[in-house]
Amino acid sequence: MSRIAAIFGRLLLAVIFIVSGVSKLADISGTEAAISSVGLPSGLAIPVGIFELTAGILLALGFMTQFVAILLFIFVGFTILFFHHEFTDPVQSTMALKNLAIMGGLLLAFAHSFMWWHYDSIRRERKAELAARDAERRAHDAEIRAARAEAAAEAVTADRETVVTEGVPEVHRRRRWFDW
């Protein structure tokens, strides 16, 4: 049950960034005005919108979850610093608290993403499975090579005994400890 809750939690976090990225890209001039109003350079609307949209999609899919969660954590921290720093204004303080809660969710996604379903864990499991199969195959091949080498050594020893003992009378043959 906790895996399902984690997946839905990550999806809900991702929706915030996907919707925000789409809205920034839909109203580029309004986004530019908002960014310029806080003293940041103009021309950041499209990169910020693309970043939010891409990061939200990656978070939803569970691809590079830890990396994306840290990037979004830093991004949301900067939004508090640049946009919601007026804590005397109730709206701005509420927005700052909302962003802090999102940052907490992103830290949870970072900390626990390796435990639950996402693309990275599936890739790691598949890689481990392939490595185990490869190790088994190499061990099997080594056993076959060892058996063949042992059989070849026995064949050489048998041929050598035949060559040595052929044409030599029984009396002159050397007795070995294993012939007794």
* Short-list 61, 108, 118, 94, CA closest to 17: 61
CA distances from 150 to 140, 145, 154, 155, 167 (A): 15, 9, 6, 9, 28
Q: Which of 117, 132, 152 is the last residue of a domain?
A: 117
pLDDT at 9 over 90: no
Contact assessment for residue 83 and residue 38, using Cβ atoms and an 8 Å cutoff: yes
pLDDT reported for residue 100: 95
Domain shared by 107 and 64, yes or no: yes
76-118 pLDDT, tens per residue?
Answer: 999 999 998 888 899 989 999 999 999 999 998 888 765 555 5
Distance between CA 180 and CA 178 in Å, rounded? Answer: 6
pLDDT at 155 over 80: no
Domain shared by 59 and 112, yes or no: yes
In a domain, 172, yes or no: no
Give mean pLDDT, residues 128-140.
Answer: 89
Domain shared by 110 and 128, yes or no: no
The CA-CA-CA angle for residues 52, 56, 57, to 5°, reads 120
Domain shared by 73 and 132, yes or no: no
**Total domains present in the chain:** 2
pLDDT reported for residue 3: 72
What tokens were used for 132?
Answer: 């185990």
Backbone CA torsion sign across 127, 128, 129, 133: positive
What tokens were used for 115?
Answer: 């435990």
Which residues, 6 or more positions from 25, have their beta carbon under 8 angstroms from its beta carbon?
46, 49, 50, 53
pLDDT reported for residue 98: 94
| pLDDT band (50, 70, 90) for residue 48 | very high
Residue 89 domain boundaries: 2-117
In a domain, 176, yes or no: no
pLDDT reported for residue 19: 97
pLDDT reported for residue 163: 52
- Helix, strand, or coil (residue 109): helix
Domain shared by 99 and 128, yes or no: no
Give mean pLDDT, residues 6-35.
Answer: 92
- Helix, strand, or coil (residue 42): coil
